[in-house]
Structure 1
Amino acid sequence: MKKYLISLDKDIKRRELFFSQLNTQDFEVFSAFNTMNDELSDLSLRFDLTRFEQQYKRKVTKGEIGCTLSHLGVYQSILQNDYIQEDEYCLICEDDALFCAAFQQELDKVIAVSQADIVLVGQSKIAEFNDFELEINYPTTLKFLQKKLVNSPFTVVYPYQNYFAGTVAYLIKKSAARKIIAQISVQSLPYWLADDFILFGGTFKLDIKLVRPLMAIENPQLMSNLEAIRGSVANNLLKKSLKYPLKKLLAIKRNLGK
Structure 2
Amino acid sequence: DPTVVVNVLIKDKAHFLPYFFHYLQKLDYDKSRMGIWMKVDKSNDNSEAIVKEWVDSAQKEYSFIDVVFGEAEHESQKDVQWTEERFNYFIKLREESLSIAKSRWADYAFFVDADVLLVNNQALRELVSQNKVVVAPKLDSLGMYSNYWSGMQSNYYYRRTDEYKPILERKNKGCHQVILVNSCFLVDLTSRQTDYLTFTPKKLNGYTGPVDDMITFAISAFWNDVPIYVLNENIYGFVPVPLDDGQSLEDELMQLEALKLEVTVEWPEPLEPLESLKNYTEVQNKTSDKLGFFDEIFLINLDRRPDRLKRMEYNMNQLGLNFTRVSAVDGKLLNDSIVQEKGIKVLPHFADPYHKRPMTMGEIGCFLSHYNLWEQIVESKLAFTLILEDDVRFEPYFREKLRNLVNEARDLDLDWDLIYLGRKRLREGEKWVENALTLSQVDYSYWTLSYMITYEGAKKLLAGEPLKKLVPVDEYIPIMFNKHPEDEWSKHFPVRNLNAFSAAPLLVYPQRYVGEDGYISDTEDSELIDLEKLSNSTLISECDKKGSREDLPNCSLLGGKGDEGSNPDAVQKSKEEL
TM-score using structure 1 length: 0.71
- Aligned residue identity for 2:450: A
- Aligned residue identity for 1:206: L
Unpaired segments ≥5 residues, structure 2: 1-293, 483-492, 513-517, 529-543, 549-566, 570-578
Unpaired segments ≥5 residues, structure 1: 125-133, 150-154, 236-249, 253-258
Match of 2:472 in 1: 193
Match of 1:4 in 2: 298
Please tell me whether residue 174 in structure 1 is matched to residue 455 in structure 2.
yes
Flag the 1:43–1:96 CA change in 2: closer, same or farther, 3 A: same
User: Which aligned pairs between 1:143-222 and structure 2 lie closer than 5 A?
Assistant: 147-149=435-437, 155-159=438-442, 161=443, 163-184=444-465, 189=468, 191-196=470-475, 197-202=477-482, 203=493, 204-220=496-512, 222=519
Flag the 1:35–1:70 CA change in 2: closer, same or farther, 3 A: same
Aligned partners of 1:223 and 1:148: how far apart in 2? 36
Aligned partners of 2:375 and 2:393: how far apart in 1? 25
Overall identity of the aligned pairs, in %: 21
Aligned partners of 2:469 and 2:375: how far apart in 1? 13
Aligned partners of 1:234 and 1:8: how far apart in 2? 22
Q: What's the RMSD between the two structures over aligned residues?
A: 3.3
The count of residues paired between Structure 1 and Structure 2 equals 214
Aligned partners of 1:111 and 1:15: how far apart in 2? 26
Please tell me whether residue 95 in structure 1 is matched to residue 390 in structure 2.
yes
Aligned partners of 2:305 and 2:388: how far apart in 1? 14
> Deviation per CA, 1:220-250, whole angstroms, max 9, x where unpaired?
3653322446995579xxxxxxxxxxxxxx9
Contact 1:89 1:174 in 2 (8 A): yes
User: Which aligned pairs between 1:103-142 and structure 2 lie closer than 5 A?
Assistant: 103-114=398-409, 115=414, 116-123=416-423, 137-141=427-431
Flag the 1:50–1:4 CA change in 2: closer, same or farther, 3 A: closer
Aligned partners of 2:471 and 2:504: how far apart in 1? 26
Contact 1:47 1:65 in 2 (8 A): no
Aligned partners of 1:48 and 1:164: how far apart in 2? 24
Please tell me whether residue 66 in structure 1 is matched to residue 361 in structure 2.
no
Contact 1:46 1:190 in 2 (8 A): no
- Aligned residue identity for 2:423: Q
Find the residue that maps to 1:101 and give its secondary structure. coil
- Aligned residue identity for 2:419: V
Aligned partners of 1:190 and 1:80: how far apart in 2? 23
Aligned partners of 2:374 and 2:547: how far apart in 1? 33
TM-score using structure 2 length: 0.34
- Aligned residue identity for 1:165: Y
Aligned partners of 1:89 and 1:79: how far apart in 2? 11
Task: Report the alpha carbon displacement of residue 17 of structure 1 after superposing the two structures with TM.
Answer: 1.0
Structure exhibiting the larger radius of gyration computed from Cα positions: 2
Mean Cα displacement is larger for which, 35-44 or 2-11?
35-44
- Aligned residue identity for 1:199: I
- Aligned residue identity for 2:455: K
Match of 1:241 in 2: none
Find the residue that maps to 1:14 and give its secondary structure. helix
Contact 2:440 2:504 in 1 (8 A): yes
Aligned partners of 1:218 and 1:98: how far apart in 2? 6
Task: Report the alpha carbon displacement of residue 73 of structure 1 after superposing the two structures with TM.
Answer: 0.7
Aligned partners of 1:140 and 1:45: how far apart in 2? 41
Flag the 1:234–1:120 CA change in 2: closer, same or farther, 3 A: closer
Flag the 1:184–1:141 CA change in 2: closer, same or farther, 3 A: closer
Match of 2:314 in 1: 20
Find the residue that maps to 1:121 and give its secondary structure. strand
Contact 1:183 1:190 in 2 (8 A): no
Contact 2:346 2:471 in 1 (8 A): no
Task: Report the alpha carbon displacement of residue 33 of structure 1 after superposing the two structures with TM.
Answer: 0.7
Match of 1:44 in 2: 340
Flag the 1:33–1:233 CA change in 2: closer, same or farther, 3 A: closer
Match of 2:64 in 1: none
Task: Report the alpha carbon displacement of residue 105 of structure 1 after superposing the two structures with TM.
Answer: 2.0
Find the residue that maps to 1:67 and give its secondary structure. helix
Task: Report the alpha carbon displacement of residue 147 of structure 1 after superposing the two structures with TM.
Answer: 4.0
Contact 2:346 2:469 in 1 (8 A): no
Find the residue that maps to 1:69 and give its secondary structure. helix
Find the residue that maps to 2:468 and give its secondary structure. coil
Aligned partners of 1:195 and 1:212: how far apart in 2? 19
Aligned partners of 1:215 and 1:96: how far apart in 2? 14
